[in-house]
Amino acid sequence: MALAVRAPRFQPRPASVSAPASTSSLAAAANARSRAGAAVRASAASPFTEATSSSRYRRDAWSYAADGSSKPASSSSSSDAAAAAAAVAAAGRRDDEIALQLPELRRLLDALRASRGRGAEGEGGAGGPGRVALVGTGPGDPELLTLKAVRAIEAADLVLYDRLVSNDVLDLVGEGARLLYVSKTAGYHSRTQEEIHELLLSFAEAGANVVRLKGGDPLVFGRGGEEMDFLQQQGIRVEVIPGITSASGIAAELGIPLTHRGVATSVRFLTGHSRNGGTDPLYVAGNAADPDTTLVVYMGLSTLPSLASKLMKHGLPPDTPAVAVERGTTPQQRMVFSLLKDLVDEVKSADLVSPTLIIIGKVVSLSPFWVDSSEHDALKIENSYEARNLNYG
């Protein structure tokens, strides 16, 4: 297994292992990789906003009413309510958590409407609706944000954000803005897509400058197109600010060209999502198994066994290079390079977690982090010898 943590982007390519290479040097390399991977697993918290993270509830504390009164919640009572919401969310009671938020959301809407009305009267005209910006935040590294995205984030009145928006990006939100978590993840939907639509519409109609933050690019497997279509049909002005999609950002980080003359003539983005939480990806066509095409699989960790099997069944060579990258472009990045036939076992052994991007294709071998097959096999043999010696010792 080739498991590595984030390293300098242009680290020199590892030297290939020739036939007489010493097994001791291979063992040292294997041990170093193993220690590095274990250290990352033990020390690094996720850079992203998890459903029940303490940082998430600190940011969203304003939205929880401490009691049923119509008075604005104080700082301490709001924090108490946020703690209660964290408890119900941890217990999986989504409806209870939303019910706690509704009074504060209504109060904010009323305040925005009143403020908008006063401003309009002073100018002698009726206040029009606000706007919604769908902003892509890239794969996690805040330095990959566009200048336009930063300006929109800093100017927001209300920010609706997903789990795959990194904490570093959320730190750019202005002090006067309100943040609201609306992520949908396996086993936990803080909001349905229809509820997200209604939130965007309600606050935009109240005159707010609303920013909808999405990891990667909002129009690549982000359901941004659905939100844009819904809002435009309601007469709301929508601006889409593109982000660097994970395929481009992570591939660049690893030195993998998604297309390369003589190696890959096209690139194809696939979703690894399944229907109703099943084990099969939604759609894997026979023509996806093209040796001259680079495949990039989003959200494919749970369906990887079925995906890899189907690709090989459709004719993709088992020795096709591949890489799985967890939390790409962040300091907690981990990556597993492998041949396609071994990828499922290697990912399982490394215990990668979501979000993980998978790249499959000959271009993967162009990465400076790629270990060729001879060294890969030698490392496996050396690891098996070490395991036997430990067992007998």
Per the CB < 8 A criterion, the answer to whether 312 and 322 are in contact is no
d(C-alpha 300, C-alpha 356), whole Å: 7
User: Catalytic residue among 80, 96, 184, 312, which?
Assistant: 184
User: Catalytic residue among 1, 228, 299, 335, which?
Assistant: 299
Provide the residue type at 359 as one letter.
Answer: I
CA dihedral 108, 114, 116, 118 (to 10 degrees): -150
Going by C-alpha positions, the residue among 288, 254, 301, 306 that lies closest to residue 2 is: 254
d(C-alpha 236, C-alpha 128), whole Å: 10
Question: Is 162 tagged catalytic?
Answer: yes
Question: Is 299 tagged catalytic?
Answer: yes
Provide the residue type at 242 as one letter.
Answer: P
Question: Is 228 tagged catalytic?
Answer: no
- Expressed in percent and rounded to 5, the helix, strand and coil fractions of the chain are 45, 15, 40
User: Catalytic residue among 141, 157, 162, 342, which?
Assistant: 162
> 158-161 and 266-271: which strand pairing?
unpaired
d(C-alpha 351, C-alpha 365), whole Å: 22
Q: What does the longest C-alpha to C-alpha distance in the chain come to?
A: 88
CA dihedral 308, 332, 212, 144 (to 10 degrees): -100
Helix/strand/coil for 211: strand
d(C-alpha 249, C-alpha 320), whole Å: 22
Catalytic residues: 162, 184, 299
